[in-house]
Structure 1
Amino acid sequence: MSGLGKVVRSGVRHRRVQTLVLGLATTVAATASVLGGSLLAASNGPFDQAFARQRGAHLTAWFDAGGASAAQVAASAHAPGVSAAAGPFPTSTVDPQDGSELGLPAGVNLPPMTVVGRTDPGGAVDTVTLLQGSWASGPGQIVLSDAYDGPIRQIGTKLRFPGLPGDPTVTVVGLARSVSRTADAWVSPPEISALTAPGTPGGYQMLYRFTAAGTPAQLATDRDAVAAAVPRGAVSGTLSWLTTKRGTDRNTALFIPFLLAFGLLGILMSVLVVGNVVAGAVGTGRRRIGILKAVGFTPAQVVRSYMGQALIPASIGVASGLIAGNALAVPVLSTTAEVYGTATAGIAPWVDVAVAAGALILVTVTAWAAALQAGRLRTVDALAVGRAGKTGRGQGAARLAARLPIPRPVSLGLALPFARPARAAGMVAAIVFGTAATTFAVGMASSLNWVQEAKNHDTADVVIHTFGPPPGAGQRSPVQQRPATVAPTAISPSAITTVVTAQPGTGWWYGTADTDVTVAGVPGSTTVTTFTGDSSRAGYAIVTGRWFRGSGEAVVPATFLTATASRIGDTVTLHARGRAVPVRIVGEVFDPHTQTNEVLTDGATLSTAIPDLRPTAYSIHVEPRTNRSDYIDALNRALSPLSLTATASGANGSSDVIIALDSLTAALTLMLIAVAALGVLSTVVLQTRERVRDIGVVKALGMTPRQTIAMVLASVVTVSLAGGAIGLPAGLALHAATVPAMGHSAGLDFPSAAIHVLPAPELVLLGLGGLLIGIIGALIPAGWAARTSTIAALRTE
């Protein structure tokens, strides 16, 4: 065994290029696999654990009290498939205002709140976790969900409801968390009557667990069973646990298809490199294999020696990949702890174990398959065979290249790969992976830039804020992460639009106003953005359907369609200030915003329910050849009687998720390109050393060092062009499959414009990138061949 160990160590030490290639290839594969696996575990583990621990609701249903009695709603607990149920709980939607404890700026109100009457936080379904304080046990007490969109986080805060009889006031006595997102707040059941507007029937909430609820199809069956157990039309909305899970996992889910694609590239490339390097070592070491067998090594020992030469650098590479993967995953997983309130969001140990074991098993099997040839070689044949390949191979290609009107060293180099077709195929495969990785990375970066532009969407030149000093262009209210309901000035919108339209240089404009409403079945509040003016110029990318054309029509993102189980053409009901406002969905927009419950509609849609809703900002695009600075100065002079100010509109910065994806793309792509180039380097080194005597002969016949370099570089041109031609469409196909998968995992639909982002000139350059990879990989062995003296080359066997 000691003799075998010496052989393995000697092979690793003397084949430094091959050792480096093997180590880097396994590093890339392990890094990407750890990232993908850890994010996959993080996107499923915390929510599933919390959901199981709290016996979360598979389905939350809201019922109209005018369509079904409490007894009829309670009877739905016996619907087919129901394994456990809780309720009915009385519900109400209210518009709270703070009791001055929060210190909110003037005109900033709290988002609407869905309140549920519940005696205690326990029960057979949806056990609510009390984080602070106590449960509401009497009148005037309320427990807030930590998922409520408002800034309230202190026990003892008082909330007022001036729109209800008697202007009731409640005190926050606790903060709680529901994994099912069943409510924004909880009170004792008798308190619901004081929080329900006169003349409204109110509603009920039921929570269900089912025997089969793991897929959307199963939940659709369960939902139909519940609806069939109550009078027709009594169900006003439902919420699936899969929708809640998808929303909470959205940040990490976006990474998973992207990293899995890189992991697949890394794994396939590592298999290719291991097989190519071991097979090349066997092919060029036949005499050494014969000597080992002559001194007593068995065929199995010879095979194990070559496997060991592959496993040592592979083990180091896997260890490096585990360290790099864990380090890169930490910032990506940092949001998971915040979402679920857990203490840590580290790497699952089984991911490291699985990646390490899988990578080493893969290397072992690949190296064994490539090293079998060494075990099958007869001792006499191995000792008798030199390094050169079999005579006759590539002769046809050599004769054809000689007829080409090109320098003779170049024609000799072009014919070299055909003498070793299997080795040339390995080099082609390495360049295919390198080109595919580059194409995939460039396409991914372009798609992410498109996403960022679609997220910013506003291409206006000038903006006018109508609510006093704005928090800053592109910024949100400092008291909330979501847009607050901000009261604009009392200035008539018509006075503002008159100034804007009369200003020379105005091209087009639109005004926007944000308000919060509730939609049955959608947890929390939904932000409605209303538009006046030429809203079609707002810059939102349409996925399907069209932009709204008037009152009663709306466009929404894919996440809203999922949350409401609706489609284009359906009508949803918005509840604003006690009024029901039906809107018809006419289009889906691409809007990857943190607040995914969004509705975009015409300003007239909510004019009846909220008559005082006025634009808080006007976006203006100036005409071509109009100086923006001069336009702003002139517009501010015209606005001075209204005490308003126009400012230049600035683009929003890139989101943290997109920055992280860009960084990971660059890092992993550079590693894959380096592996591809080193794969070419390894093959060309073997090819050059194998033909060193031939190089000595042509040098003796007068070939200069510069011509020698040209010959070696020419030997990779054909395979590089072939690899680039294959790798380009492969990279485009991988990109076209990964981008929609990233969107679907995050609950978004990507339009074709986000996928087909590479123009023809870039595609040509990416295709030629394979040639660049090949030349870079061949430069070092070409220099070595040029520096080798003629005498030393001729003496080499």
Structure 2
Amino acid sequence: MSALGRVVRSGMGRRRVQTLVIGLAAMMAVAASVLGGSLLVISSAPFDDAFAKQHGAHLSLQFDSGEVSAAQLSKSADAEGVSVAAGPFRTATVTPKLDNAPPGRWPVTVVGRDGSGQDVDDVTLLDGRWPTRPGEIVLSADSSIFPIMGMTLAFPDLPGAPALKVVGVARSVTQTSDAWVVPSQMTALTAPGSGGYQMLYRFTDAGTAAKVAAGRKAVTADLPPGAAVGERSWLTVKKTAERDVALYVPFLIAFGALGLVMSVLIVGNVVASAVGTGTRRIGILKSIGFTPAQVVRAYVGQALIPAAVGTALGVPAGHLLAIPVLAETQEVYGTSSLAITPWVDLAVIAGVLGLVTATAWASAWRAGRLRTVDALAVGRTASAGHGRRAARLAGRLPLPRPVALGLARPFARPARALAMGAAVLFGAIAVTFTVGMSASLGEVMKAKSHNAADVTVPAPPPAFGPGGPIPEERPEADPAVVTAAIEAGTGTLKHYNAATTRATVSGAAGAVDVIAFTGDASWGGYTMVSGRWIGEPGEAVVPTPFLAATGTRIGDTVTLNGMAEPVTVRIVGEVLDPRHDGMQVFTDASTLAAARPELTERSYHITVEPGIDVTGYVDALNEDLTPLGVAAQVGGSDSDSDMVTTLNALSAILTLMLVAVAALGVLNGVLLDTRERVREIGVHKALGMTPRQTIAMVLTSVVVTGLVAGALGVPLGVALHGRVMPAMGAGAGLRLPDSVIDVYGGAELFPLVLGGLLIAALGALPPAGWAAGTRTATALRTE
């Protein structure tokens, strides 16, 4: 081993705590950065691979067969910018009766195609085969009907009551349909005067929404106005596919940035402290022949080696954390795109090690500039000239002498106190941000579960068999009878009931849930983002993803298909509801009266009068409800989310790492300070200071630093939360209202401010114990 290597090894051995701090800070920064960068880069890889392999359609357009002919649509394939097109295909929205489920619940959009396609939308068969004759159907794996080979879909409401056998399961990467049949089958599935056409287009350039919109304008330029009744852009599908993963990216970037900044601060502080306390050692190295550049490299190496070890551990940790996040997306598209992204790893490694090297070099530059004679003449004991005024002021306070000495100590070493404060500051920011994020996710879950009711009569859970839901032997409780029992209950203040049916919407693949309310549900815990709640029949509120998927906004109208008659509703509000990917429509039950929908999953929500015992109310109500086959329960329905659990766990792990790094940063500073003052501590002990007083003196030396850092870290953490949470919501396809963002109250902020003091105290406790245990004679002999 070279002389320089021995110096580096010896320095790391003497400063084990500092070495651990640098390694842990680098590992945390690298893990969060690799995780965030990898998710950002490979989140779209499964979709992109499947889209390229299946020649996905850049734009899918639905047309009204009464407004445009097949010949006119065929000419649109020659429009400017179209590279290849497929269609027109006949389409119909039909509602089958499943083998083991009641009718009226599973509307699907069926397209008649000769084959799975080649040049545009090459549908991938996951099981079975493509239909070759009437009476056969292929279901999409993304449809609302759970596809099972051999199951029968009957259509008793259509002329001739056709029945189709499922012969295959397939997936269209851009979700162009719920099912496919041979073209000759469409005649039996299309009632006179109904149905439509579908055209699929690939453009020469469709990389942005503006270019897709330009392509749409080109293909519809020569068609009658209003002929296109629905559209689906590949960018919308891609955004939906990336949504779950994109949710993690903003918060990981925040933690990665905090970790990087903390790494820079800690490396700079550790190296500067090593130079400051090792001045005489630097003089010895120079006197035996070390050049200034070699001395600088020795101190840079003492920081770079543990940082490199931390980086080596952080890279695989980041990839391991990314695997469960992306596994579901990879499985959906049947790709193997979840691979290591070398350039992301290299960029993070180069960035972190480059920052460590630059910071360590800047901090160690002073060591190279020191003159040998000056360095040898400097003793180890710190100058007593700093902080005298602060010590005199602290001595006048009505406090015990050890506490006064501790409070004055940060002013004797302001640079070191500032470095410790910076570490505590970022720890306080991380804790504040994590507490706020957990509270915000709790608000999202409250909006999801709609549990504002005092009492709920939930819908009985359906039983499931191999063919899907199995209807129960007993009939559903009569809603009018249940409502009458609730209204007759002593203490009922207000109530409403909610029932669900299924429908399709032009421009959105698959069926959507339509929740129909009987009674005023505005108090039921539905969190409005914009607009207002339903006020009259014909109005609806929808979640943000629905608006994005259908290209609509408040004030627009949408048509719900798949019931006895189409129903057109006007969107008057945007509601926060992440259930079912946000593809829901909330409206009044009277809006659907003419369509005669099959309403299922009916639940009842009740608020009792003030002063009424809720448990007693439920017991009395159940005496009337139990014979009807339903039962009331206290409170609203509970809801949970694997994604929320994962986010909370991930943020807790990263926060604990940041807090540990911050506490170790404080430990490093206090340890250096305590060792510098060991002779002074010996004098205090000789004059009668007890071990308990010694501990109090060392701990109070970080009180001012901890309180100031906590007071600054809390508002910065609140500000970070205010920036990151909306970005996380946008990543999930949601707009978050103020009630989800403004989650901090005075009762929560004060303990968070004290959190900075707690971090500082945790870091100072081990050095305090060491100082208390040092023998007086040993301390007095130390130079």
**TM bucket normalised to smaller:** over 0.9
Do structure 1's residue 170 and structure 2's residue 164 form an aligned pair? yes
With 783-792 and 270-279 compared, the bigger mean Cα shift is at: 783-792
Equivalent position of 1:142 in the other structure: 137
2:181 pairs with 1:187: yes
User: Is 301-310 or 119-128 further displaced after alignment?
Assistant: 119-128
Mark the CA change 1:640 to 1:594 in structure 2 (over 3 Å): closer, same or farther.
Answer: closer
- Note closer, same or farther for the CA distance 1:483–1:457 as it changes in structure 2 (3 Å cut): farther
Deviation at 1:521, TM superposition (A): 0.3
Counterpart in the other structure of 1:656: 642
CA distance in 2, matches of 1:177, 1:197: 27
- 1:353 is displaced (CA, Å) by 4.3
**CA-CA distance at 1:460 after TM superposition:** 3.2
1:520 maps onto 2:506 in alignment? yes
C-alpha deviation, 1:134, in angstroms:
2.1
Match of 1:7 in 2: 7
1:376 alignment partner AA? R
Amino acid at match of 2:180: W
CA displacement at 1:646 relative to structure 2: 4.1
Which deviates more, 336-345 or 549-558?
336-345
Q: Find 2:416's aligned residue among 408, 418, 423.
A: 423
Contact 2:622–2:632 (8 Å) recurs in 1: yes
Q: Write out per-residue CA displacement over residues 584-624 of structure 1, whole angstroms, 9 at most, x where no aligned residue.
A: 11111111113421000000011101266477222233334
Partner of 1:93: 93
Question: What SS is found at the alignment partner of 1:206?
Answer: strand
The answer on 1:240 being equivalent to 2:240 is: no
Select which of 551, 568, 573 maps to 2:537.
551
Cα distance, 1:421 vs structure 2: 2.5
Kindly tell me: are residues 258 and 484 of structure 1, through their superposed partners in 2, closer, same or farther at Cα, counting changes over 3 Å? farther
**Residues 123 and 326 of structure 1, relative CA distance in 2, 3 Å threshold:** closer
Q: How far off is 1:348 after superposition?
A: 4.2
Determine the C-alpha separation between the residues in 1 that align with 2:471 and 2:202. Answer: 36
CA distance in 2, matches of 1:503, 1:678: 62
User: C-alpha separation between the residues in 2 aligned to 1:483 and 1:662?
Assistant: 33
Range that drifts further, 476-485 or 763-772: 476-485
Once structures 1 and 2 are overlaid, which stretch shifts more, 558-567 or 137-146? 137-146
Is 2:250–2:728's contact at 8 Å kept on the other side of the alignment?
Answer: yes
The one-letter code of the counterpart of 1:214 is: G
Report if the CA contact (8 A) 2:499-2:517 is conserved. Answer: yes
Where does residue 116 of structure 1 map in the other structure? 111
1:776 partnered with 2:753: no
Q: Return the alpha-carbon distance in structure 2 between the equivalents of residues 485 and 595 of structure 1.
A: 26
For residues 290 and 347 of structure 2, what CA distance do their matches in structure 1 show?
Answer: 34
Corresponding residue for 1:25? 25
On the 8 A contact 2:564/2:597 being kept in 1, the answer is: no
Q: Is residue 104–residue 597 contact of structure 2 (8 Å, CA) maintained in 1?
A: no
Q: 1:39: which partner in 2?
A: 39
CA contact (8 A) 2:45 2:337 kept: no
Q: Shift of the alpha carbon at 1:370?
A: 1.7
Under a length normalisation based on structure 1, what TM-score does the superposition of the two structures give? 0.93
CA 615–659 in structure 1, closer or farther in 2 if over 3 Å, else same: closer
Q: How does 1:592-603 map to 2 (within 5 A)?
A: 592-603=578-589
Matches within 5 A, 1:440-451: 440-451=433-444
* Residue 748 in structure 1 maps to residue 734 in structure 2: yes
Which residue does the alignment assign to 1:64? 64
**SS of aligned partner of 1:525:** strand
CA displacement 1:331-362 (0-9 Å, x = unmatched): 33332233222357465455444433433333
CA contact (8 A) 1:110 1:484 kept: no
Note if contact 1:531-1:603 (Cα within 8 Å) is conserved in structure 2: yes
Residue matched to 2:79: 79
Change (3 A) 1:180 1:325: same
**CA 1:658–1:76 in structure 2 vs 1: closer, same or farther (change >3 Å)?**
same
Shift of 1:299: 1.4
Superposition deviation, residue 742 in structure 1:
0.7
Aligned equivalent of 2:373 = 380
Q: Note the alpha carbon deviations across 1:103-144, whole angstroms, 9 max, x for none.
A: x25x36551111112222223222211222222232222222
Residue matched to 1:763:
749
Q: SS of the counterpart of 1:36?
A: helix
Q: How far did residue 213 of structure 1 move?
A: 2.7
Q: For 1:220 and 1:390, locate their aligned partners in 2 and report how far apart those are by CA, in whole Å.
A: 72
Code of the residue aligned with 2:136 in structure 1: it is Q
User: How much does 1:513 deviate?
Assistant: 1.3
Q: 2: distance between equivalents of 1:120 and 1:719?
A: 72
Q: How does 1:202-221 map to 2 (within 5 A)?
A: 202-221=195-214
Give yes or no for contact 1:108–1:486 (8 Å, CA) kept in 2. Answer: no
Distance (Å, rounded) in 1 between the aligned partners of 2:578 and 2:16? 48
Aligned pair in 2 of structure 1 residues 596, 688: CA closer, same or farther (>3 Å)?
Answer: same
Q: Distance in 1 between matches of 2:51 and 2:490?
A: 59
Shift of residue 538, structure 1, vs aligned partner: 2.2
Q: Which residue of the other structure, out of 285, 291, 295, is the alignment partner of 1:298?
A: 291
1:254-299 residue CA offsets vs partner (Å, 9 max, x unmatched): 2221222111111111111111111111111111111111111111
From the superposition, tell whether residues 750 and 241 of structure 1 become closer, same or farther in structure 2 (CA, over 3 Å): same
In structure 2, distance between residues paired with 1:479 and 1:234: 42
- Aligned pair count reads 783
Residues 212-241 of structure 1 show CA distances to partners (whole Å, capped at 9, x for unaligned) of 433333333333333434211111011121
The letter of the residue matching 1:718 is: V
Give the aligned partner of residue 668 of structure 1: 654
Asked if the contact 1:436–1:730 (Cα under 8 Å) also holds between the matched residues in 2, the reply is: yes
Letter in 2 for 1:416: R
Paired residue secondary structure (2:138)? strand
**More displaced, 208-217 or 265-274?**
208-217
Compared with structure 1, are the counterparts of its residues 477 and 48 closer, same or farther at alpha carbon in structure 2 (3 Å cutoff)?
A: farther
Amino acid across the alignment from 1:46? P
Question: AA paired with 1:689?
Answer: R
Higher mean displacement: 380-389 or 266-275: 380-389
Q: Percent identity?
A: 58
- 1:358 is aligned, of 351, 355, 359, to 351
Distance between the aligned counterparts of 1:370 and 1:593, measured in 2? 53
Q: Which runs of 5+ in 1 are unaligned?
A: none
- 742-751 or 370-379: bigger deviation: 370-379
Distance 1:278 1:116, change over 3 A: same
CA distances 1:514-571 after superposition (whole Å, capped 9, x unpaired): 1111110001111100000232232111111111012101111000010111111111
Task: Please give the per-residue CA displacement for 1:141-199, whole angstroms capped at 9, x wherever unaligned.
Answer: 22221111211221x32221112111112222222111111111112223222211122
The amino acid of 2:707's aligned partner reads L
- 136-145 vs 339-348, which moves further: 339-348
Q: Partner letter of residue 151 of structure 2?
A: T
Q: 1:389·1:419 contact (CA, 8 Å) conserved in 2?
A: no
Q: Is the 8 A contact 1:92 1:203 kept in 2?
A: yes
- The separation in 2 between residues aligned to 1:343 and 1:491, in whole angstroms, is 49
- Whole-angstrom CA distance in 1 between matches of 2:520 and 2:431: 41
Query: Quick one: which amino acid aligns to residue 422 of structure 2?
Result: A
Q: Deviations over 1:404-448 (max 9, x none)?
A: 343343333333222332222211110110100110111111111
Task: Tell me the C-alpha RMSD between the 2 structures.
Answer: 2.6
> Structure 2: how far apart are the matches of 1:480 and 1:378?
84
The aligned counterpart of 1:585 is 571
2:164 maps to a residue whose letter is: V
TM-superposition CA deviations, 1:646-669 (whole Å, max 9, x none)? 455664242111111111121111
CA distance in structure 2 between the partners assigned to 1:643 and 1:132 by the alignment = 40
Q: Which runs of 5+ in 2 are unaligned?
A: none
Superposed counterparts of 1:631-780, under 5 Å: 631-639=617-625, 642=628, 644-648=630-634, 651-780=637-766
- Once residues 481 and 443 of structure 1 are traced to their aligned partners in structure 2, the CA distance between those partners, rounded to angstroms, is 44
